[in-house]
A and B are shown apart, each in its own frame.
Chain A
Amino acid sequence: MNDILLLIKRSLINILRTPAATIPNIAISVFFLFVYNGGLSSVSSIPGFVGSYLGFILPVSIVTAAVGGAGSAGQNLIKDIDSGYYTKLLLTPAKRLALIWGPMFAGAIVLLVQVILIIILGVILGLHTATGIPGMIMVALLAFTWGMAFAGYSVFMALKTKNAAATQAATFAFFPLIFLSETFVPSSFITVKWLKIAANINPTTYVFRAMRSLILNGWEAKPLLIGFAVILGLASLTGFMALMAAKKSTQLS
């Protein structure tokens, strides 16, 4: 546990000392919130749409921030691999899990700060949430876990490719994940069959549904449980892949 805390602290120091790498990610998620809310809010006047569009689109901004923030975990690891510092860490008795959880948790902590900022901005823009502060804590928790899942993927790609460009390119998986879903309109509004199928098998859909239920509807067990189950499943899978890659990188090759 001590190793993990030490390496989270070190990753956080790194993040704080390179604000140029974090600020654009915050800016882009705020940008998405403004643009989507400004450009698409008339969707809420279509018959059948329930609740405010701001509340509907806020999770898109949060999930975008989560993906961008989590991607930094892989980039930070690549920086360590390139500088040779990762090898130095491998030669210490630190647990292999700590070596990957350090950057992953640090990225997720930064993400939490981003999510809080986005929610505050939403409130300033007139957001009313159905579940209040406890519900928003739950939204932040969903975002944190989702961020960890994506960080696991990004770390896995970093360890697998050991290449910054390849790790950056791997985060492009974000585009189908975010856009082949109920991103801008509820599922009942999607009429194209293939997009409906894609949205149903896309884990992001269940993250959106869980967050939206908390913001727009109130405490609903089903979307929340499914949302957490999907995210935890995904986080376990990517976390396992990252750990295996880390263990392989410490085994004699």
Chain B
Amino acid sequence: MNNDRSISVKKVSRTFRDFVALKDVDLDVPSGQIFGFLGPNGAGKSTLVKILTTILAPTAGVATVAGFDVHTQSDKIRQHIGVALQDVGLDALMTARELLLLQAQLFRFSKSEAITKSERLLKKVKLETVDPKKRVGDYSGGMKRRLDLALALVHDPDILFLDEPTTGLDPASRADIWEEVHRINKEDGVTIFLTTQYLEEADKLAQEVAIINKGQIVARGTPSALKKEIGNEVITITLEDPNAATQASQKLKQSFSEQQISGHELSIYLTDAAARVPELVRLLDQEKIKLNGLTLSQPTLDDVFLHATGERMTEKTNTGE
């Protein structure tokens, strides 16, 4: 019996012709953790998930899942993992029960066991009341995601890979998925590798996160430690244009060293924000730099991303980069 529910990634790279999708990625996910893998679109999240779920080979490096090597022991890995990929892979012509029954039987459960499992899983993902004759093609996006999650759980996996499980879902469906992910981890002890472009999702669910940008890990740790690293508080000032932001940055550099420009915004990381706001305003006033806005907040994972890459992840995600 293999009780190893961990994931280990050492110096993993993946290239597609000239494009470097992943470069020297190192990660360790301990057993039983919800691990958030965070990054904007095209950062390399799905590539790493495909490598760890044995769909894609790394160009270099070593990765093990549940103690098995992705390159040489892919069959064994598949018995220990559940996978719900970003593109929900369902047969639109079948019903939910038919798909669950087939999936369970392909995982070597007897027909009666498969029926019991299907009903239990339908209840778990709140699809038990849906018309049994309704074909999956007629399901909403949220229902499809929940069914996909149920299919990934059919064989009681030790490790669950969820690749952007809530992308495109409405807030209520997203909350349902979060609740279920949390429950699977707490009650069943399943290690969850969750990729997401939603900072709030990673913050809410993950015990530890890694942030990836352009194929490289740029930060990792617990969400609170990462935020603490860049300062306890953040002052964000909004200026008229990016030139003004650069001018302000230069003026403030001596007194406020931890700062980051993003467009016409300047974020300043510090520990005593409220006390230092007057000083900041005075310095800008001396240079006749006009402020459009000023906010004082706790740092978010977006601030961590900004600090590590010089860009806001929310902007990259919104512009579809």
Give A residues with C-beta under 8 Å from B: 2-3, 6, 10, 13-14, 17-18, 80, 83-94, 252-253
Contacts and interface: CB of A to CB of B under 8 A. Distances in A.
Nearest to B72: A252
Interface string B50-90: 00011111000000000000110011001101010101111
B91 A83 contact: yes
A3 B85 CA distance: 23
Contact of B90 (A83, A91, A94): A83
A93 B172 CA distance: 34
B105 interface: yes
Contact of B151 (A14, A86, A88, A90): A88
Contacts of B78: 91-93
Contacts of B135: 17
B94 A13 contact: yes
B108 interface: yes
Contacts of A84: 85, 87-90
Contacts of B256: none
Contacts of B71: 252
B244 interface: no
Contacts of B79: 93
A100 to B, nearest CB: 15
Contacts of A6: 102, 105-106
A185 to B, nearest CB: 43
B320 to A, nearest CB: 21
A213 B253 CA distance: 95
Given A13-B94, A88-B151, 7 more contacts: A17-B93, A17-B135, A91-B54, A91-B81, A252-B55, A252-B57, A253-B56
B211 to A, nearest CB: 26
B92 A91 contact: no
9 contacts: A6-B106, A10-B91, A18-B93, A83-B89, A84-B90, A85-B90, A88-B103, A91-B83, A93-B75
Give the most central of A18, A80, A84: most B CB within 10 Å.
A84
A238 to B, nearest CB: 25
Nearest to A249: B55
Interface of B: 53-57, 70-71, 74-75, 78-79, 81, 83, 85, 87-94, 98, 102-103, 105-108, 135, 151
B1 to A, nearest CB: 17
A8 B71 CA distance: 30
B88 A2 contact: no
Contacts of B55: 87, 90-91, 252
Given A252-B71, A253-B57, A93 B107 contact: yes
B91 A93 contact: no
Nearest to A5: B105
Contacts of B81: 91
A61 B71 CA distance: 49
B85 A87 contact: yes
A63 to B, nearest CB: 29
A253 B51 CA distance: 10
Contacts of A83: 89-92
Contacts of B56: 252-253
A6 B109 CA distance: 12
Nearest to A15: B93
A93 B83 CA distance: 13
B46 to A, nearest CB: 12
A92 B87 contact: no
A25 B81 CA distance: 41
A86 B83 CA distance: 13
A85 B91 contact: yes
A88 B102 contact: no
Given A3-B106, A88-B151, A13 B93 contact: yes
Contacts of A18: 93
A88 B136 CA distance: 15
B70 A252 contact: yes
A78 B70 CA distance: 26
A92 B78 CA distance: 7
Contacts of B57: 252-253
Contacts of A3: 106
Given A83-B90, A83-B91, A89 B106 contact: yes
A87 B102 contact: no
